Structure 1
Amino acid sequence: MLLLALTACGGDENAKEQPEGDGPAPVALTIAPEDGAQDVPTQGELAVTAEGGTLTGVTVAGPEGEEVPGALTEEADAWAPDEALANDTEYSVTAVGENAEGDEETSTATFTTVAADATFSSYWNIPDGSEVGVGMELSVTFDTPIQNTAEVGEAVRITTDPPVEVRGHWFGDQRIDFRPEEYWEPGTEVEIGFRLRGVEGADGVFGTLRENVSFTVGRGQVSTVDAAAHTMTVTRDGEEIRTIPITAGAPGNETWNGKMVITEKHKETRMDGATVGFGGEYDIPDVPHAMRLSTSGTFIHGNYWASSGTFGSANVSHGCVGLGDAQGAGDPGTQGAWFYENSMIGDVVEVINSDDDVIAPDNGINGWNMDWAEWGAGQ
C-alpha cells in the first residue's frame, strides 16, 4: 500500500508542471455585421458563428424588444435569421457560447439596417379564418412591379396539415398565385406566413407585410356544366347530389371552357353589359344569386327573365351560366337559390363542351387550367 501511494505521488519523471491558466481556449464568437454598423442590408448580412465551441443562445431584438427568429446549424456553430429584417431599424445582438469544458463567453453588438427608398404593399384574397372550397388558390398582388420574384415568392410561406406541396406561379410581375397539384383535400388546415417585410422586391423598394393568416378547406364540391347538354351536375365529396338544367352562352357569346373557381357571392347584383363590352344589350339591376367565376365577367347566377323552358334546352346568355330563379331572390325553391345556398367561395365550376377556348388561368382564380409542370416555372 505504501509503495502504491508513493508511486502515485511521484508521477512521471518526464512530465512537466503545467503553467497556471493553461487550459482549453475560450470559444471565439463572431457577430456580423460588426458593432455600430450602419446601412446594413436587411437580408444576407446578419450571422453569428462560434469557433472552438458551440453557440448556446443567440438573441436579436429590435427597439421594442421584438425578437428576430433564427436557427442554429446542426453543429450549433452558426446561427442565421429565418426572415428579413425591418428597414431603418436598430437591432441588438447577444450571443452566448461555450467551449468543450463548458466555459461560457458572451458577445454583443448593435447595428442599424438600411432605409428603404420606397416600399411595396401586398394584398391577398383569402380572409383570415375563412373556410373555403377545394379549388381556392391564394392570390397575392403587389402595387408595384416586382423584379426579385424568387425572393418575394419565397417570403410567402405556406404550411399545411396534412402536408402537401404548394407552389407559386407568377402572372406578370405583380401577381403570384399558390396552389397544390390537385384540388385541396377536404379538411386541410393551411397556415400562411407573410414575411415580406424587409424583402427587396426591386432596386431600393422593400416590402412591409409581416403577418400570419390561416384558412380551412371545407367539403369537396365540384360542379360540371355541360354546355352542349344544357345541364350542371353537382358532385360533393365524390357523390353526385343534383343535376340542374342550365342555359349557357349563346352562339357568338359562348361560355369559356375550363375549371373556374367561385370568388364572390351576391344574393342580388346589377349586371350592366356596358361594363364587359356589351354596351346597351342588357342592364339588369337585380340579378339573383350571382357568383363570380372570372375577372372578365363570367358568373353563374339565377335567371328570372328567360322562360322556364329555356333551362335544359337552349343556350341564350352572353357567356354566363344561368339557372332558373325568381325575381327578388326570395324563393328558396328555385334551382338558382339552391345552388347559391349550397356553394361557398373556392368551389369549382368546370365547363365542358362549349364552343370556346379554355379560360386563361389568370382570368380569375383559375390556375387549375395550367399543367403542374408549367405551374411555378420561371419564378
Structure 2
Amino acid sequence: MVRATLLGSLLLAVTACGGGGSDSGAASGGKDAEGAKNASPQAVVTIAPKDGADRVATTGALKVAAAKGKLTEVSVEDAKGHEVEGKITGGGTGWKPSVHLATHTRYTVRAVAKDAGGRSTTQKSSFTTLTPKATFTGNFTPEDGTKVGVGMPFSVNFTRGITHPEDVEKAITIKTEPAVEVRGHWFGNDRLDFRPEEYWKPGTKVSVTLNLDGVEGRPGVYGKQAKKVDFTIGRSQISTVDVKTQKMTVRRDGKVIKTIPVTTGKSGYDTWNGQMVITERLSVTRMNGETVGYGGEYDIKDVPHAMRLTTSGTFIHGNYWGGGTFGNYASSHGCVGLRDVKGGYDGSVSAAWFFNRSMVGDVVVVKHSHDKTVAPDNGLNGWNMSWKEWTA
C-alpha cells in the first residue's frame, strides 16, 4: 500500500513536471506567432491621381509610391484589359509608366507593397484621362499590308505642326525582321521619315506601331491614332539614269536586266541629280506645265506609264511624242522619258516594260546632270543625306 502510494506520487510528480513545462512553452510560442501574424502591415501605398479623378493628364500625372515597405506589384489597365507598361523604381519605392496614357480612357490601378515582415498592403484606384479639344493625326506611307521597294522609307505627315517632336517620335516604334537599326528624321515640324542606314534588305518585314493617342504634340493638341502598320520589302530594283549617255541601266538584285534609251531634261530644265524613290504609279495621267511653274509650255492629257519621283513634279514616264530623242539627246522639261505609244497599249515598248516591272519604293538614280542634287524632302528622297546628317 505504501509502495503503491509512493509510486503514484512519483508518477504524478514526473507527469506534472514534464507536462507543465511543455504546455507553458507551447502557449507562449503560439501567442507570439499569432501576434506577429495578425499585426497590421506597415507598408503604405500612395496612388496619384486620387480615386475617381477625371480629366487627368496623359503624361506626368500617374504615379505610385510606397513608404515603410517596397512595391512588389503594380498593374494599370484600361476597360478592355490592355495593360500600361511601366517599371518599379528606387528599389521598390516608386513606379512610373513607360508610355503615355490614351485620352478619354478609364484606367484601374492595383498596387501591392510588402513591409519588412513580409506583410502585404494592397491599394486600388480608378481615374479617367482628359478629352482633348484639339487633335492631330499622321498621314503615313506605305500602307498596311503592302510590298514596296528597297528605297521606301516610312513617312508620316502630321496634320498639325509639332512642337514636342521628341514625344511624338518616341510614340512611333519600328521593329524589323531581320533586325536592323531604323532612325527617324524630321523635315520641318510636320513630317517625320524613318529609314535604315542603307537600302532595306529584300524580304525584310517591317512592323510599325503608331501609339499617338494621348501624345501632346503641341500645347493642348493631342494625337488620336493607335494603329499598327505592317509592310514587306520586295526584291531590289535600282535603275541608274546617265544623263551623258541618255541611257538607263536597270539592276534587279544587283544584276543588269535591261538598258533603256531615255530622254532627260533639256538645258534650263535639267533633271535633278541624286537618288529618287518611286512614290506613285499611274497608268495614265495629265501633265500640265501650269502645275509646276511652266505655264503654257505644255498640257498633255494622256501621259502613259507615269511614276512620280518628286513632290515638285518629276516623273519617269512614257513619251509618245519624242520621236528620235531617246538615247540621243535631252528634250524634256525635267522628267525622264521612255519610248511609248499614244494610249500606252503596246506592252513591248520601253515605258510599258519598265512600268510593269516597277513598284512603289524602287529607286531611280540620276547622275551627270547639270542640275543640283534633289532636296531630301522633295519626295521620299532622304537617301541623299548621309547617315550622320540623318541622325544628327
Q: Does 1:32 align with 2:32?
A: no
Corresponding residue number in structure 1 for 2:82:
67
Determine which of 60, 72, 80 is the counterpart of 1:55: 72
Give the 3-state SS of the residue equivalent to 1:55 in structure 2.
strand
Corresponding residue number in structure 1 for 2:380:
365
Determine which of 176, 179, 190 is the counterpart of 1:174: 190
Query: 2:65, 2:179 → 1: CA distance?
Result: 33
Q: Does 1:118 align with 2:137?
A: no
Give the CA deviation at 1:232.
Answer: 0.6
5+ unaligned residues in a row in structure 1: which ranges? Answer: none
After the TM superposition, which of the residue ranges 52-61 and 164-173 deviates more from structure 2? 52-61
Question: How does the TM-score come out when normalised to structure 2?
Answer: 0.86
Query: 2:348, 2:377 → 1: CA distance?
Result: 35
Give the 3-state SS of the residue equivalent to 1:368 in structure 2.
helix
CA shift digits 1:105-147 (9 cap, x unpaired): 4321112323323111221121101100000011111111110
Query: 1:102, 1:67 → 2: CA distance?
Result: 30
Determine which of 14, 22, 26 is the counterpart of 2:36: 22
User: In the alignment, residue 123 of structure 2 is paired with which amino acid?
Assistant: S
The answer to whether the 8 Å contact 1:87/1:114 transfers is: yes
Give the CA deviation at 1:77.
Answer: 6.7
TM-aligned CA distance change 1:58 to 1:50, over 3 Å: farther
The answer to whether the 8 Å contact 1:265/1:289 transfers is: yes
Determine which of 370, 378, 387 is the counterpart of 1:355: 370
Query: 2:46, 2:178 → 1: CA distance?
Result: 40
The answer to whether the 8 Å contact 2:75/2:84 transfers is: no
Corresponding residue number in structure 1 for 2:345:
330
5+ unaligned residues in a row in structure 2: which ranges? Answer: 1-17
Query: 1:257, 1:78 → 2: CA distance?
Result: 56
After the TM superposition, which of the residue ranges 43-52 and 297-306 deviates more from structure 2? 43-52
Alignment of 1:15-164 (within 5 A): 18=32, 20-22=34-36, 25=41, 27-50=43-66, 52-56=69-73, 58-62=75-79, 65-73=80-88, 79-96=95-112, 104-164=120-180
Give the CA deviation at 1:170.
Answer: 1.0
Determine which of 244, 262, 269 is the counterpart of 1:228: 244
User: In the alignment, residue 353 of structure 2 is paired with which amino acid?
Assistant: W
Q: Which has the larger radius of gyration?
A: 2
TM-aligned CA distance change 1:286 to 1:37, over 3 Å: same
Query: 2:99, 2:226 → 1: CA distance?
Result: 10
Higher helix share: 2
After the TM superposition, which of the residue ranges 90-99 and 157-166 deviates more from structure 2? 90-99
Number of equivalenced pairs: 367
The answer to whether the 8 Å contact 1:55/1:78 transfers is: no
Give the 3-state SS of the residue equivalent to 1:345 in structure 2.
coil
Query: 1:313, 1:165 → 2: CA distance?
Result: 43
Give the 3-state SS of the residue equivalent to 1:235 in structure 2.
strand
TM-aligned CA distance change 1:57 to 1:91, over 3 Å: closer
Q: Does 1:290 align with 2:306?
A: yes
Query: 2:116, 2:243 → 1: CA distance?
Result: 75
Corresponding residue number in structure 2 for 1:320:
335
Alignment of 1:192-207 (within 5 A): 192-207=208-223
User: In the alignment, residue 289 of structure 2 is paired with which amino acid?
Assistant: G
Give the 3-state SS of the residue equivalent to 2:302 in structure 1.
strand
CA shift digits 1:177-218 (9 cap, x unpaired): 111111111111111100111111111111101111110001
Query: 2:92, 2:85 → 1: CA distance?
Result: 12
Alignment of 1:258-277 (within 5 A): 258-277=274-293
The answer to whether the 8 Å contact 2:75/2:83 transfers is: no
Corresponding residue number in structure 2 for 1:342:
357
Query: 1:159, 1:127 → 2: CA distance?
Result: 16
The answer to whether the 8 Å contact 1:162/1:189 transfers is: yes
Query: 2:217, 2:321 → 1: CA distance?
Result: 50
Question: How does the TM-score come out when normalised to structure 1?
Answer: 0.89
The answer to whether the 8 Å contact 1:42/1:86 transfers is: yes
TM-aligned CA distance change 1:101 to 1:340, over 3 Å: farther
Query: 2:266, 2:349 → 1: CA distance?
Result: 23
